[in-house]
Amino acid sequence: MNYTKEQILAHCNEFSKNTLMETLKIEYIDAGEDFLTAKMPVNPSVHQPMGLLHGGASVALAESVGSAASFFFINPQEQEVRGIEISANHLKSIREGFVFGTARIIHKGRSLHLWEIKITDEQGNLISLCKLTNMVLDRKKS
């Protein structure tokens, strides 16, 4: 990556405004050469009817952080990223606090990026394990 950690986090948090990420209060908090981490609060706004973190909210966090991470491996003037497949295994439930999604690159190809996203709680317990495939597309010329 040719960006500083501060640039990555500022960019991710800025482009999240007025999106689902802002609605879910997802905040990007850490970045490195092969990972990006975001946090999301767990409260009634992301609960399912039994009062637990909704699996869909976990998947939204995973896809958000994995897609944002791919952005930093492309030339955004010439390319764009689209999530084409995501899978999730929900391993533990949580009722309150924060969850953290950390995306780590598994495969960085010319046209496909494969990410593993681990969602953990504040104690580091694994809540969900997700896999995201992103396609890298050439931007259409205007």
23, 35, 106, 129, 141 from 77: Cα distances, Å:
27, 22, 24, 32, 10
**Catalytic center residues:** 63
Phi-psi region of 124 (alpha: psi -120 to 50; beta: other; left: phi over 0): left
69 alpha carbon, distance to own chain's centre: 7
